[in-house]
Amino acid sequence: MNISEFKLFLAKSAYAPKEILEILSKDEDCDVRASVAQNLNAPKEILWMLAKDKDSVVRISVTKNKNVTKEILEILAKDKNYSVRSFVAKNLNAPKEILKILAKDEDLDVRASVAKNSNVKEILEILAKDKTLNVRTAVVQNLNASKEILEMLAKDKDSWVRESVAKNPKTSKKILEILAKDENYWVRESVAKNPNTSKKILGFVNLLQKH
């Protein structure tokens, strides 16, 4: 094990003392600093410092630390790098106030990450009307999507969104019955595979798929 590998080992160690992590947090190797950022033993002071690191990989690693504070996430939610903001949006501990702001982010990947967060509910109503296909699809794939949201997106202009509604295990029989008559083959095929599809609807879909 060379010195670089040893420093990386220490940075990841659950037994590394605060003093060692503090030294490694200033290491020239960004992989070492990123590992410190994810270390659960890293104190708040170190996470604050690494949240301002010049390398986005390190700042992203801070968002992955289970001990990252609300205050640090607030700073990183305003990061100039969209990937950093996207990882904040994925954080299950991110407060609703932060997620609401990120739901209006200029970058579609950030908004899609909010839509995929399993802790969001009310925010999904905003994102369900997003102009971007990827975001609306992410909303449908979130198991917190309400019946009303699924019903609205079952009428979406894009077949990818409707197909996602047809695949959602929470989609009601009423919505599945509507999607069973969809013009798109793959939407109907997804209806056929949905566990909530009744035998009557399945029979209808199978008949359509043969023609």
pLDDT at 206: 67
For residue 70, pLDDT beyond 70: yes
Give this prediction's pTM: 0.87
Range of weakest confidence among 71-75, 96-100, 118-122, 202-206: 202-206
- The amino acid sitting at 151 is E
- CA–CA–CA angle 86, 89, 91 (5° rounding): 115
For residue 211, pLDDT beyond 60: no
Mean pLDDT for the stretch of residues 87-114: 96
For residue 89, pLDDT beyond 90: yes
pLDDT at 4: 86
